[in-house]
Every structure is written in C-alpha cells, then in structure tokens.
Chain A
Amino acid sequence: AQSVTQLDSQVPVFEEAPVELRCNYSSSVSVYLFWYVQYPNQGLQLLLKYLSGSTLVKGINGFEAEFNKSQTSFHLRKPSVHISDTAEYFCAVRMDTGRRALTFGSGTRLQVQP
C-alpha cells in the first residue's frame, strides 16, 4: 500500500516570495506522483505529474516539482507566488501498474499575504 505525508498543514508566505510545499511518500513499488490544487468551492485541478524521465517536472502557473527517489520526496516549488496562488495543495501517488486510484496526502494550505 502507498501513503503520502504532507509535512506542513499551512504555509503562510508573502507575495513574490518563493515557496516550497513538502511531500513524502511511501510505497513498495514504483509510483507515479501528482500535485493537485483546490481553490475554494472548486474541484481539484492537476498542477503537474511525474511519470518517468526527468526528475524535474514543470507544471501550470509557474509551479515545478522534483522527484527524489532516494528520499522518497516530491516537493512542490514556485520561485515567486501571487495572491491568486492561495489555495489547498494536495500531493498524490499511485502505482505505475495495477491499482489506478490515487492516494492523497492531507493537504497544505498556501496562504499568500500581500
């Protein structure tokens, strides 16, 4: 079975500052990794995904994430955040074969302050 740990439940940051949202996973098999964003009263939207290949993955809205297999991490970063980035961010994992369902972390609320 897989599990995902998002180490920070809330991350306050000032506008235009860089941010890193941490995600660690546990799995006995190879996995695919995802970051989703959820704005208030909206569904989850895919930010980026790691399937294979380059460990640095670029997504929408200027976000990127780096897959680190040795540390079983998939941290999300953005060099300069905007007020509009305020949202809940979820890291998720699924096996690369077999079971298709995603396992989500508990989420990190990014609060961008002016």
Chain B
Amino acid sequence: DTGVSQNPRHKITKRGQNVTFRCDPISEHNRLYWYRQTLGQGPEFLTYFQNEAQLEKSRLLSDRFSAERPKGSFSTLEIQRTEQGDSAMYLCASSSNTATGELFFGEGSRLTVL
C-alpha cells in the first residue's frame, strides 16, 4: 500500500504524559499536513511542511505541540504534557507540489487523554 500511513492508530494516555505520532506520506509527495479533528467537527489545520521546512503553523498549535519532518520524509507530531482537551483524531495528509495537488489523508491517530 502506498498511501499515507499513520502510527499509532490509537493512543490512550494519562494527563501530563507526552505522546508522539508518526506520519509517512506518499513517497513522491513533498508537502505534508497535520490536522486535528474532534467529534462532530471538521478537520482543523495545525501545520504544514514543504520538504523539511515548516511553512505554516496554526494558532491552534500551542507551545506544547511540536512537529518535525527531518529530511523531508516522514513527520512526527509530539504533544507534551497532554491535557484532556487534546483528545482528538490527528490526521496527516500529503500532496504533490503542483498548484492543484489534492490532499491524500491517512486514517488518523486517535488520542484519548484520561
């Protein structure tokens, strides 16, 4: 399967712990996006990379959140000192560099903070 892959699919953690999610984009895509989706809402943009450069960060991305994309391949999203409000589905998407490149989404990583 050459789609967008996300791991882990589910993560349950206690408040205050750190968690990290990984996203492997489609191999020829140089743009990578992170979104957050809570129950009953549409995905909300968090951040995006072009190759290894993080070009945009949403105001939703507090200081406890950090994303990296070393070498422009896979990406990680880390949440430090998790809070119950962080419980959500974290979606990763990738796209090509063409002007009309559509976003291809992974199946998401569901975070539950107890």
**B-contacting residues of A (Cβ < 8 Å)?**
4, 6, 9, 32, 34, 36, 41-46, 49, 51, 90, 92, 96-97, 99-107
Residues of B near A103 (CB, < 8 A) are 45
Per the bound structure, the CA–CA distance linking A101 and B102 in Å amounts to: 10
With beta carbons under 8 angstroms apart, the residue of B40, B48, B103 that contacts A107 is: B40
A43–B100 CB distance below 8 A: no
How many A-B contacts if CB must be within 8 Å? 56
Q: Which of B8-39 contact A (CB under 8 A)?
A: 31, 33, 35
B41–A100 CB distance below 8 A: no
A106–B40 CB distance below 8 A: yes
Interface residue range, chain B: 20 to 34
Per the bound structure, the CA–CA distance linking A9 and B44 in Å amounts to: 17
Per the bound structure, the CA–CA distance linking A100 and B1 in Å amounts to: 25
A107–B100 CB distance below 8 A: no
Per-residue 0/1 for B43-54: is the Cβ within 8 Å of any A Cβ (1 yes, 0 no)?
A: 111001000000
Name the residue of chain B whose CB is nearest to the CB of A97: B99
Name the residue of chain B whose CB is nearest to the CB of A32: B100
Residues of A near B35 (CB, < 8 A) are 104
Per the bound structure, the CA–CA distance linking A99 and B58 in Å amounts to: 12
Residues of A near B108 (CB, < 8 A) are 43
Per-residue 0/1 for B80-114: is the Cβ within 8 Å of any A Cβ (1 yes, 0 no)?
A: 00000000000101010001111111111000000
B43–A43 CB distance below 8 A: no
A90–B102 CB distance below 8 A: no
Residues of B near A104 (CB, < 8 A) are 35, 42-44
A106–B42 CB distance below 8 A: yes
Per the bound structure, the CA–CA distance linking A78 and B5 in Å amounts to: 31
B106–A102 CB distance below 8 A: no
Per the bound structure, the CA–CA distance linking A107 and B4 in Å amounts to: 22
27 A-B pairs, CB-CB below 8 angstroms? A4-B42, A6-B42, A32-B100, A34-B102, A36-B105, A43-B105, A43-B106, A43-B107, A44-B43, A44-B91, A44-B105, A45-B105, A46-B104, A51-B100, A90-B43, A92-B42, A96-B99, A97-B99, A100-B33, A101-B45, A101-B48, A102-B103, A104-B42, A104-B43, A104-B44, A107-B40, A107-B41
